[in-house]
Amino acid sequence: MRDLNTLPPLKLALVQTQLAWHDPQANFAHFDDLLKQAHGADLVILPEMFSTGFSMDSAGQFEPENGPAAQWLLAQAQRLEAVVTGSVIVQAADGSYRNRLYWARPDGELAHYDKRHLFRMAGEHEHYSAGEQQVVVELNGWRIRPLICYDLRFPVWSRDAMDTDLLLYVANWPGARRLHWNRLLPARAIENLCYVAAVNRVGKDGNGLVYAGDSQVLDFQGDSLLEVGTADGVFTATLDGAGLAAYRDRFPAYLDADTFRIQ
């Protein structure tokens, strides 16, 4: 078992903003300006499909693996000396389209997670292929699991079977279902005894859907450390490893958790 008391504080920068529809260059330029406010963060988090908006035009909006958005993220990571993450539309080497979260490190390393649960009510499952693997990445000793939007509704996939310290959700979650977003996020924190950070967008997309934001950071009891509401900008919160360790020692529900394997 790792000693969480030795983890350094982890500073998060959540970037909640509007997105230009199907216009990566406009979005890169917009984030170039916004991310000036993120200096000093360890981890900078952008929304789902941050370069295009949540689009079902996978064939028209994709980029190749490690394409322009990936290279832009790596450049931002180097500039900020922080990990920068968010998801984009990618055509994988096998020809399939993926809603892919990139995890760009300042040393030039690039990891990724492909969205597992595709939002069928928008037809996402007809335009993208689902990811097959859970992913855990490490930052300054913190173990972080990235997930994407609709994944939030599936507690088995989010379940902390791998000693996770932070569950991270990036999203384009419409305002019409903001109540679900605000109820499910604390549930994931409580049941997994870990921090949760979630970044959504604001504004209206090319399909006329309105997004209310509600990006937030929650502690291991589901209590709020940061609530953004509908604001547009960069917002920060700092996570404390010692607090997480103390709570898990005091309330070790994970010792009674069921074991299972996802097929």
pLDDT tens digits, one per residue of 128-183: 999 999 999 999 999 999 999 999 999 999 997 668 999 999 999 999 999 999 99
- pLDDT confidence of residue 110: 98
- pLDDT confidence of residue 261: 83
The Cα–Cα gap between 50 and 63 comes to 13
Report the half-sphere exposure of 139 (CA within 13 A, side-chain side). 31
Question: For the chain, what is the mean pLDDT?
Answer: 96
Active site members: 48, 115, 149
pLDDT tens digits, one per residue of 31-66: 999 999 999 999 999 999 999 999 999 999 999 999
Domain ranges across the chain: 8-256
pLDDT tens digits, one per residue of 184-200: 999 999 999 999 999 99
Helices (H), 161-234: 178-192
Strand order in the sheet with 216-218: 137-139, 142-148, 166-170, 195-199, 216-218, 224-227
- CATH number of the structural domain 8-256: 3.60.110.10
- pLDDT confidence of residue 162: 64
Q: What whole-number percentage of the chain has pLDDT above 70?
A: 99
- pLDDT confidence of residue 259: 85
The Cα–Cα gap between 36 and 108 comes to 20
Q: What whole-number percentage of the chain has pLDDT above 90?
A: 93
Give the pLDDT band (50/70/90) at residue 24: very high
- pLDDT confidence of residue 133: 94
Least Cα distance to 199 among 224, 183, 181, 180 occurs for 181
Q: Determine the Cα angle at 17 with ends 13 and 18, to 5°.
A: 160
